[in-house]
A and B are shown apart, each in its own frame.
Chain A
Amino acid sequence: MAFRPPHEIYARRFGRNVGVAVLLVGFVALVFALTVVKVTRGDPMKGFDHVIEPTMVPDPGKTP
């Protein structure tokens, strides 16, 4: 089976496609980096879970 030559749109849109690819990879890298920073610092993310996490609820008897 012979391959057909690629459609000219691949050559024409090459610049746009590369640009979008770079943006998406950069976005994924940024979200990953933000996640690493926030998780390693221990931001109170468990507080947003479906179940109340007793350790995350401020104790009214103590000043934070």
Chain B
Amino acid sequence: MAETRIFDGAPEAGFGDYVQLLKPRVMSLVVFTALVGLLVAPVRLHPVEAFAAILFIALGAGAAGALNMWWDADIDAMMKRTRGRPVPSGRVTGSEALGVGMALSGISVVMLGLATNLVAAGLLAFTIFFYAVVYSMGLKRITPQNIVIGGAAGAFPPMIGWVAATGSVSLEAVLMFAVIFMWTPPHFWALALFMKEDYHTAGVPMLTVTHGRRVTRVHVLVYAVLLAPVAIWAAATSLGGPFTMAVSIGLSLWFVKGGFDIWRRDETMAEADKYAVEKAFFRFSLLYLFVIFAAYLVEAALKLNGLGGW
């Protein structure tokens, strides 16, 4: 009997393509911030519970990523950076991405609820809903403030980590949320200034396209200035201590200075040095968030040894 093979052009999806659906790079940031939220909380979880909590928070974030890839396949197909993703490249069908996203959403929420508590599970469910429905389906294609709204979804993981340990939302959890929420817009708009992506082809209203680069520079500065008091307030709560306060003040001042440098420049100056200042600000913004959250962790470790804290 002759063997029949069908070649439909698209290469078959491997296991890695399904992993790509979950946006592993975003997940790594989620793992880090959720882990910090969980470890700095005043309640200790058993290591197995803590591991399960982080795993299912990350899986929930991955599920939201898969739903986003299902919904945004049309946009992704039009932009160079995202054209190679599993759905637009045809390796994974849209309905498969939808299925993976829905199944993992359910598994991650139920398992987080069983491993820790229902408040954390509810927050995770809300985060997935917020990212997939409110952001991806709702506001991303409508408003140039889409980055601000998407940032809220990225700001939830440390709060969920905290709630997984303590069972309730407190000021510290809200402030960790607020730090990431205020940090996201300047971080992404700095990137938008020098990446010059083809958002307009895809019809996504990016601030650089809708309101111009001048307005974007103003926005970067305003958010950098607004972030500073939030970060310093967070360091003044039980999250921080003298060490965290010093780190937060120092980094925030430097962040505001970076925002000011961006605001001061126009496109001719930026073109002249190939967006050196914008690129440096973007790199520093990554360092900023990492070091601030690492400082909460260091402060918590110091407190365990009778040092640090207020």
Contacts and interface: CB of A to CB of B under 8 A. Distances in A.
Given A33-B48, A34-B48, A12 B12 contact: yes
Given A15-B14, A16-B15, A41-B46, A8 B3 contact: yes
A37 B55 CA distance: 17
Nearest to B51: A30
A30 B115 CA distance: 10
A19 interface: yes
Interface in A5-35: 8, 12, 15-16, 18-20, 30, 33-34
B114 interface: yes
Interface in B1-60: 3, 12-15, 18, 46, 48-49, 51-52, 55
A15 B49 contact: no
Contact of A19 (B15, B49, B114): B15
Nearest to B46: A37
A15 B15 contact: yes
Nearest to B45: A37
Given A8-B3, A37-B46, A41-B46, A16 B52 contact: no
Describe B's contact surface by its main secondary structure. helix
Contact size class for A?
Answer: 10 to 19
A18 B13 CA distance: 14
Nearest to B17: A16
B14 A34 contact: no
Interface of A: 8, 12, 15-16, 18-20, 30, 33-34, 36-37, 41
A22 to B, nearest CB: 9
7 contacts: A8-B3, A12-B12, A15-B15, A18-B15, A19-B15, A34-B114, A41-B46
Contact of B14 (A16, A30, A36): A16
Contacts of B46: 37, 41
B49 A34 contact: yes
B44 to A, nearest CB: 12
A34 B15 contact: no
A34 B12 contact: no
B280 to A, nearest CB: 40
Contacts of A8: 3
Contacts of B52: 30, 34
Nearest to B55: A30
Given A15-B14, A19-B15, A34 B3 contact: no
